[in-house]
Chains A and B, each alone.
Chain A
Amino acid sequence: MKFARWFLCSLVIVSLAVRANLSAAPLKVAFSDWPGWTAWEIAAQKGWFKKAGVDVELLWFEYGPSMEAFTAGQVDAVMVTNGDALVTGAGGGKNVMITITDYSNGNDMIVARPGIKSVKDLKGKKIGIEVGFVSHLMLLNALEKNGLTESDVEIVPTPTSQTPQVLASGQVDAIAAWQPNSGEALKALPGATAIYSSANEPGLIYDTVAVTPQSLAQRRADWVKFVKVWDQVVAYLTDSATREDGIKIMAARAGVDPKEYAAFISGTRFLTLAEGSRIMSSKSKGFGSVTGSSVISDDFNVKNGVYGEAQDIGSYIDPTIMADALKN
């Protein structure tokens, strides 16, 4: 009897959740631990969404589960890198990137043991990376810029969270990871240096907010209001008077000491709406535009078997939201 009652309750809950896509419902946005995304918490804490007239619910996930929740249709938007937006789309969670928040400017690094001073020294060495992820993409980019190819080095598949220990143990000569793992790797092996980072190739990784096509179609005006709030967040973090408070909020969201967290901010290049809009609408090849960067990511993903077919990049990017947000 108890089971029957619970089963019935579960059915009711599930059916209500399915029907909850009414326009009165808040915009559900999934975000996770990356400075460009954690910064949105400042807007939530300061009530800027309410002031802008849009009801937003920010939901905190681990990065992987956030994409799972998006693919399952449980949230309206997710904050992902442009490469992962394609991966999520290919996996059934078709999405449209409506705004970019930042690009990685040093938070992704190749950390090498003492004795290896440049990317050229990596020839013939072992490198620990998580295959198919952005760190892999960054490594290939670094090798290409220095006249090497993937076959010139030996890749050792390593989960990103374990790269500091693996580097310290001496099993590999270098690792590629993002913060906080890359910073930890520098500390774990004394004398280790970052021989390459995303600062060497701005635009390698753009961080975006991707929404479901149906939510975008139904509530476009709300999404424009949402995107417009970003300028206030960037201003809050750039202004030296309010920067500390902003970092305090972000650090609290991530659950770490603000002084520790401040170090991660410098590795992230926050983009104002105006800067971002230019990069979003540009169709240039290469990393200077979201389109160009996504095409490169798409090729990389197909080549490494992350998914089978090349994606239609144009359908993943909608620069008009940012343009409308700027107009008001």
Chain B
Amino acid sequence: MSRKRWFQVRHDVSGASRRWLTLLAFALPLAVWSAVSYVPWIWHPVVKIEQPGEVSWMRAGQLVPKEDFAREVAAAKEAGLTLPSGKRANPIFLPAPHEVGRALYTAFTTKPVLRGDRWLHESLWTSIRTIFWGFVISSAVGVPLGILCGAFASVSRSTEPFVDFVRYMPAPAFGALMVAVFGIHLEPKVAIIVIGTFFQQVLVVANTVRKVDGGLLEAAQTLGAKRRQLVWRVLVPASLPELYNDLRILLGWAWTYLIVAEVVGVSSGITFFINQQAKYRNFDNVYAAILIIGLIGLVTDQVLAFLGARLFAWKNPRPSRFRTFFQRLFAGRDVLLFPDEPAKKEISA
């Protein structure tokens, strides 16, 4: 395991190492979290009272800073009172991994108590729909406008300064206005997401289109391309892979506006769950909900990355992992078990 093998500049690591490293990326934070939660002498700055003894203000289940607890125990010992007892614990805002896991399970399996209430997965679906529509509407206007800005200096100069100006306006400030214009249900939330995403999108798309190799444009013009063809047949296809990646990143950006957007109008979606649980200090539920959102984002991004690799295969030619797997599966035992060795050719009689 030499340093040379792991730290080669611009060189990917081998297949098995790739998988282990990806696993490590998640296992490491989880390990740190577990260590801080379960190992009693790492952090644990408070004491959870089990027996309050005869100290007047202590209650069972209360969390007391450990210096104060030590002080009270010493004072009680001197006064000859029953000593309080307790275990070292972490503050309320850092639940242990198993508590979050349990909260995750409970949140999804708890039946809604009230008539007209929704399951957690239904609230989650509402949130996903909000993001989806916000992003689709923003892209429907933002991407064409961005392409035009990237292609034509006149469009760029008349649009971009204003877009850049509005970009800095905080989307939450538009909340009351959106409710007044669009109502209280899904529409103002979608509008907030659009406001948050659209102005960034135009600038990012314009920039990507501007980065297209000038040589391609010149070659097309040499071949007699007209203006419309230059945009539609050269700029757009050439910038499509980068545009796809930009949109992937902007989708992540849109997700960060979810909490802000869902507070506007009638409380709905996963944000209502997060806000109520945070208000009542049930932080294990808050962590669980945040983890769900992170997981959805990660899975969406990976699926889009996979699709992107297929759509733009000409950018990164590489044998399809599916095809390679099936080839090996049917190529015979030797190839399946020892994929990196050259296959022994069968000598036909």
> Which candidate, B2-10, B279-287, B336-344, is the interface stretch facing chain A?
B279-287
Q: Which of A1-31 contact B (CB under 8 A)?
A: 2-3, 6, 10, 13-14, 17
Question: Would you call B181 an interface residue if the criterion is a C-beta within 8 Å of the partner chain's C-beta atoms?
Answer: yes
Quick check: B183 and A180 within 8 Å, CB to CB? no
Shortest Cβ distance from A299 into chain B, in angstroms? 26
Question: Would you call A153 an interface residue if the criterion is a C-beta within 8 Å of the partner chain's C-beta atoms?
Answer: no
Question: Would you call A81 an interface residue if the criterion is a C-beta within 8 Å of the partner chain's C-beta atoms?
Answer: no
Instruction: Name A74's contact: one of B140, B141, B184, B272 (CB within 8 Å).
Output: B184
Quick check: A71 and B113 within 8 Å, CB to CB? no
Candidate in A72, A161, A184 with the most chain B CB atoms within 10 angstroms: A72
Quick check: B179 and A74 within 8 Å, CB to CB? yes
CA of A190 to CA of B52, assembled, Å: 12
Q: Which of A162-219 contact B (CB under 8 A)?
A: 180, 184, 187, 190-191
Question: Would you call A249 an interface residue if the criterion is a C-beta within 8 Å of the partner chain's C-beta atoms?
Answer: yes
Quick check: A255 and B175 within 8 Å, CB to CB? no
**Chain B residues near A60 (CB, 8 Å)?**
266-267, 272
CA of A41 to CA of B183, assembled, Å: 22
Question: Would you call A235 an interface residue if the criterion is a C-beta within 8 Å of the partner chain's C-beta atoms?
Answer: no
Quick check: A72 and B267 within 8 Å, CB to CB? no
Instruction: Name A65's contact: one of B64, B175, B279, B281 (CB within 8 Å).
Output: B175
Shortest Cβ distance from A5 into chain B, in angstroms? 10
**Chain B residues near A74 (CB, 8 Å)?**
179-180, 183-184, 265
Question: Would you call A124 an interface residue if the criterion is a C-beta within 8 Å of the partner chain's C-beta atoms?
Answer: no
Instruction: Name A190's contact: one of B68, B179, B265, B282 (CB within 8 Å).
Output: B68
Which A residue sits closest to B264, measured CB to CB? A65
**Chain A residues near B64 (CB, 8 Å)?**
190
Quick check: B114 and A45 within 8 Å, CB to CB? yes
Question: Would you call A239 an interface residue if the criterion is a C-beta within 8 Å of the partner chain's C-beta atoms?
Answer: no
Quick check: A72 and B137 within 8 Å, CB to CB? no
Question: Would you call A248 an interface residue if the criterion is a C-beta within 8 Å of the partner chain's C-beta atoms?
Answer: yes
Question: Would you call A253 an interface residue if the criterion is a C-beta within 8 Å of the partner chain's C-beta atoms?
Answer: yes
CA of A6 to CA of B68, assembled, Å: 61
Question: Would you call A306 an interface residue if the criterion is a C-beta within 8 Å of the partner chain's C-beta atoms?
Answer: no
Quick check: A2 and B140 within 8 Å, CB to CB? yes
Main secondary structure of the interface of A (DSSP, over half): helix
Question: Would you call A312 an interface residue if the criterion is a C-beta within 8 Å of the partner chain's C-beta atoms?
Answer: no
**Chain B residues near A2 (CB, 8 Å)?**
140
Quick check: B187 and A10 within 8 Å, CB to CB? yes
Contact with A along B205-228 (1 / 0, CB 8 A): 000000000000000000000000
Quick check: A260 and B179 within 8 Å, CB to CB? no
Shortest Cβ distance from A62 into chain B, in angstroms? 6
Question: Would you call B165 an interface residue if the criterion is a C-beta within 8 Å of the partner chain's C-beta atoms?
Answer: no
Q: Which of B243-291 contact A (CB under 8 A)?
A: 263-267, 272-273, 275-277, 279-282
Question: Would you call A73 an interface residue if the criterion is a C-beta within 8 Å of the partner chain's C-beta atoms?
Answer: yes
Q: Assign chain A's interface to a size class.
A: 35 or more
Quick check: A17 and B140 within 8 Å, CB to CB? no
Question: Would you call A75 an interface residue if the criterion is a C-beta within 8 Å of the partner chain's C-beta atoms?
Answer: yes
Q: Which of A252-272 contact B (CB under 8 A)?
A: 252-256, 260
Quick check: B176 and A72 within 8 Å, CB to CB? yes
Instruction: Name B114's contact: one of A3, A190, A253 (CB within 8 Å).
Output: A253
Quick check: A59 and B184 within 8 Å, CB to CB? yes
Quick check: A33 and B114 within 8 Å, CB to CB? no
Question: Would you call B62 an interface residue if the criterion is a C-beta within 8 Å of the partner chain's C-beta atoms?
Answer: yes
Question: Would you call B65 an interface residue if the criterion is a C-beta within 8 Å of the partner chain's C-beta atoms?
Answer: yes
Question: Would you call A61 an interface residue if the criterion is a C-beta within 8 Å of the partner chain's C-beta atoms?
Answer: yes
Question: Would you call B117 an interface residue if the criterion is a C-beta within 8 Å of the partner chain's C-beta atoms?
Answer: yes
Q: Which of A31-46 contact B (CB under 8 A)?
A: 33, 41, 44-45
Quick check: B279 and A249 within 8 Å, CB to CB? no
Shortest Cβ distance from A50 into chain B, in angstroms? 12
CA of A191 to CA of B282, assembled, Å: 22
Quick check: B183 and A190 within 8 Å, CB to CB? no
Question: Would you call B19 an interface residue if the criterion is a C-beta within 8 Å of the partner chain's C-beta atoms?
Answer: no
Shortest Cβ distance from A207 into chain B, in angstroms? 18
Additional pairs, 6, CB under 8 Å, beyond known A62-B267, A68-B176, A255-B277: A17-B183, A60-B267, A61-B184, A71-B180, A180-B280, A187-B62
**Could you list some 19 contacts between A and B, CB below 8 A?**
A3-B137, A3-B141, A14-B182, A45-B115, A59-B184, A60-B266, A61-B265, A62-B275, A68-B175, A68-B176, A68-B179, A71-B180, A74-B179, A180-B280, A254-B280, A255-B277, A255-B280, A256-B282, A260-B280
Interface residues of A (CB under 8 A from B): 2-3, 6, 10, 13-14, 17, 33, 41, 44-45, 59-62, 65, 68-69, 71-75, 114, 161, 180, 184, 187, 190-191, 248-249, 252-256, 260
